[in-house]
Structure 1
Amino acid sequence: MYEFWTAAAGGSPLEWVAVLTGFACVWLAARESLWNFPVAIVSCGLYVLVYFEAKLYSDCFLQTMFISLSGYGWYQWLHGGRNRTELPVSRTRAREWVACAVFVPAFTLGFGYYLQHHTDAALPHWDSFTTAGSLAAQYLLMRKRVENWLLWIVVDSIYVPILWAKQLYPTSVLYALYLGLAVYGYWEWRRALHRQPALSTDIQAA
């Protein structure tokens, strides 16, 4: 245990600030707070630098995507419901599952191949898979689909050993905490879904 905390404490100040803002972001999302989006923009901007230094280029790209998607998600949560009202929690549509099932392996193979043959990326295909899974989960989060948390559980469980192997110890610990927050978020959003009138789970056709 002493060795564990000694290793974790060895992270750079930049990484630690990214860790703290990242934790705050996911906690706020689990609580359905709109503040998760501006906090996410700050955290992702810091992680662009952290992942670039670690040669996790796919994850570096992912953070830049998250910055853009956070702005879109912010708008969706405010005005994405019926008649431009606040977006309610709902279940993932069948076509969204199909889109995720096509996108994730296609991105993993395609971008993983590029990273493997054209960069010095570490773990190119694993890096690409977690990036693709994160993008799929983030899309569902922006649409307030309750199952986004299930995808985050899968992605976070893979990130923990990858980041530890790259000696990003504070971030690895953060993703271990994300696992707990994803379980909590799923529980909270299911409760919110069940509190809504029966019709509210079907109002988002898009």
Structure 2
Amino acid sequence: MIELLFSQYKDYSKLFIFLELTAVLFGIISVLFARKNNILVYPTGLVSTLIFVYILLEWKLFGDFIINIYYSIMSVLGWYLWTRKKNGADEFPISVMNRKDYLISSLIFTITLLFVALVYQFFDKFTDWTAYVDTLTTALFFVGMWLMAKRKIENWIIWVIADIISVPLYFYKGLTFSSMQFLLFTIIAILGYLEWKRLLQKQI
């Protein structure tokens, strides 16, 4: 079983393995902070996403490469939005999506899907099923990150769906540690939804 899970790493450099493990560790820490509605989700997340930018470029997973560039930008934006106060209270507290949020989310999903598809087409990389799955997860993650920056509770539902899809994708591509990370992310996202639901009920 161990051979099956980690045989991919026998040809990897120690630096590459160290970078992936570091990115995974900070990614997990970041999601745990997100579950607790703690602003430290963003600086810890930045460490993870910036490392994954390099790793995913090396593996030519262009969709997830774009995701992590976007994550890095949205982490800065989310960090800023979460610090804003209005009359002594958070300007963007935990809330549910309204009609405008659904419209914007739909636009983000559609535009991202088309953009990533064009990137794959341009580089002639639609040669494996992973390219199509990567395109889908990229669009989902874009929506999830935007909703998290706005503190919309539905962000956790998007994360659960995208994380589940990412587990076999990353394992197939030989990134076992990252695959295990997404499995853990799925569990944390479910717990995060329940935690935010509890916090939202306290606000009402």
2:174 equivalent among 164, 167, 173: 167
Closer/same/farther in 2, CA of residues 7 and 96 from structure 1, 3 Å limit: farther
Aligned pairs (5 A) from 1:69-84: 69-79=74-84, 82-83=86-87
TM-score (norm 1): 0.87
Please state how far the C-alpha of 1:28 moved relative to its aligned partner: 0.7
| Unmatched segments (≥5 aa) in structure 2 | none
Please state how far the C-alpha of 1:4 moved relative to its aligned partner: 4.8
- Structure-2 residue corresponding to 1:200: none
Closer/same/farther in 2, CA of residues 51 and 95 from structure 1, 3 Å limit: same
Closer/same/farther in 2, CA of residues 105 and 134 from structure 1, 3 Å limit: same
Aligned pairs (5 A) from 1:27-176: 27-79=32-84, 82-83=86-87, 85-86=89-90, 87-120=92-125, 123-176=130-183
Closer/same/farther in 2, CA of residues 53 and 102 from structure 1, 3 Å limit: same
Deviations along 1:107-158, one digit per CA (max 9) or x if unpaired, are: 2234213313424466333212211111111111011111100000111011
CA distance in 2, matches of 1:82, 1:147: 23
| Unmatched segments (≥5 aa) in structure 1 | 198-206
Please state how far the C-alpha of 1:54 moved relative to its aligned partner: 1.2
Partner amino acid, structure 1, of 2:48: S
Contact 2:53 2:65 (C-alpha < 8 Å) held by counterparts? yes
Contact 1:113 1:124 (C-alpha < 8 Å) held by counterparts? no
Partner amino acid, structure 1, of 2:2: Y
Identity %: 27
Contact 2:6 2:176 (C-alpha < 8 Å) held by counterparts? no
Contact 2:108 2:142 (C-alpha < 8 Å) held by counterparts? no
1:25 equivalent among 30, 35, 57: 30
Alignment partner of 1:194 is 2:201: yes
TM-score (norm 2): 0.87
RMSD: 2.0
For this pair of structures, how many residues does the alignment match? 196
Closer/same/farther in 2, CA of residues 74 and 166 from structure 1, 3 Å limit: same
**Runs of 4 or more above 6 Å deviation:** none
